[in-house]
Amino acid sequence: MPSESDESKLVEDLEMQDSSGEEDAPRRYNSDGEVLPPGQLLDDMAVKVLFETPSGFAIFRYNGYKLRHQVALMKEIWADFADPDSAAHEVRLLGFKTFQNKVHAISQSTGVSNELAKMIRNNLQPRQRLAVGNEDYKSIIEKELGIRCVYDSAVAELMWGLKIQMQSLLTPENSDLSNEDYFPMSTGMYCFLKGQKFDVKPDMMVTRRAIELAFLIYACDRHVNKRRSTLRSVAAHIAKISCINTEGWDFHKIAVALKIICCPEENIAATHPWFSTGHWRTLKSDAPKYKKLFFKGASLSLYDEVHHHCNLRIKAGQELTSLIKLAKNVDVEQPREAAIDQDDLDGKKIYPDIDPAILDEL
């Protein structure tokens, strides 16, 4: 049985557990699929990528763990390339070479040119595999150079990301990509948006802004989910102490309930629409029962964090919904002038039957 001092810091302690991570560190593998010892950092852990550009070929370095574990992580690769900063963090340019005629650099009839072969070999470790952009390049390089190559659905996601961010990753490359208005969605991005109930189709073309907004939603979800253990514990205590059925509550609603409990003296009108009158009054009247259980400072910090990211997510979702409708050539109302600002995305969350204006009061 925990002491009162231990109980009083329940939320604070649970937050520390959330922050430290609930899953063990992923195993790392070399190119042969062998598990590397913990903490061992080898260049062989990375995958080298042969990426074709309009004027030549580039070699990049990327996290081989994500490509190897494509079933679990393929759907996350797209998020590495949602914006230039993310892409620059995930990949490193190792080499770039232009060719007057790329057909002479690599083709079924001519094989691999000496220049391209030299660039590939200079950037690969012994027995390391090379990710390539299509099955033809895979067969040619394996036959001509004896280098094992990989091309699969995960690599296709990676190639999509490199193309989207080509202008920022390859400054010497003068392509017209930056002038393109619409891009195809990757499989991972499509699956993510479909899972979030957005009305998208696999062959839909979207704007660069839509890609950035999809990533913002992804990042907000990931951030809030790091606090899921704490929030679920809070909901369980509310169900037990106040006899309120919290099943089906989302993390945002749990956080709002936590604020009501921690600040019962504040009559914040914005909290009313979240709960029935009876539940709202019960949370306020039961607040003293939680004093030895929830540490107020940590609880309010948790509320602020969750509330901010949930609001951010919904505002991004609203703009993304409009962009998707436009992409489908559906007549929709023009976006508000007060569109999401990249540096101040802290808008209002919209819930059924809840006036968005009242969320500013929370």
**pLDDT at residue 180 in the model:** 61
Amino acid letter, residue 91: V
3-state secondary structure the chain: CCCHHHHCCHHHHHHHHHHHCCCCCCCCECCCCCECCCCCCCHHHEEEEEEECCCEEEEEEEEHHHHHCHHHHHHHHHHHHCCHHHHHHHCEEEEEEECCCHHHHEECCCEECHHHHHHHHHCCCCCCCEECCCHHHHHHHHHHHCCCEECCHHHHHHHHHHHHCHHHHCCCCCCCHHHCCCEECCHHHHHHHHHCCCCCCCCCEECHHHHHHHHHHHHHHHHHHCCHHHHHHHHHHHHHHCCCCCCCCCHHHHHHHHHHHHCCCCCCHHHHHHCCHHHHHHHHHCHHHHCCCCCHHHHHHHHHHHHHHHHHHHHHHHHHHHHHHHHCCCCCCCCCCCCCCCCCCCCCCCCCCCCHHHHHHC
Domains and CATH numbers, the chain: 1-21+182-362 (no CATH), 43-180 (3.30.420)
Say if residues 163 and 87 touch (Cβ distance below 8 Å): no
Give the count of beta carbons closer than 10 Å to the beta carbon of residue 314.
Answer: 19
Q: List per-residue pLDDT tens for the chain, 362 residues long.
A: 444 444 445 565 555 555 544 444 444 444 444 554 443 334 446 789 999 999 999 999 998 887 876 555 667 899 999 999 999 999 999 999 999 888 889 999 999 999 999 999 999 988 888 999 999 999 999 999 999 999 999 999 999 999 999 989 997 665 555 556 788 999 999 999 999 999 999 989 999 999 999 999 999 999 999 999 999 999 999 999 999 999 999 999 999 999 999 999 887 766 778 899 899 999 999 999 998 899 999 999 999 999 999 999 999 999 999 999 988 763 333 343 334 443 334 333 333 333 444 344 45
CA distances to 108, 134, 191, 341 from 103, rounded to whole Å, are: 9, 15, 35, 44
**pLDDT at residue 65 in the model:** 80
Say if residues 56 and 99 touch (Cβ distance below 8 Å): yes
Torsion of CA 250, 307, 216, 87, to 10 degrees: -120
**pLDDT at residue 16 in the model:** 54
CA distances to 1, 240, 298, 332 from 259, rounded to whole Å, are: 27, 18, 11, 37
**pLDDT at residue 103 in the model:** 86
d(CA 316, CA 213): 6
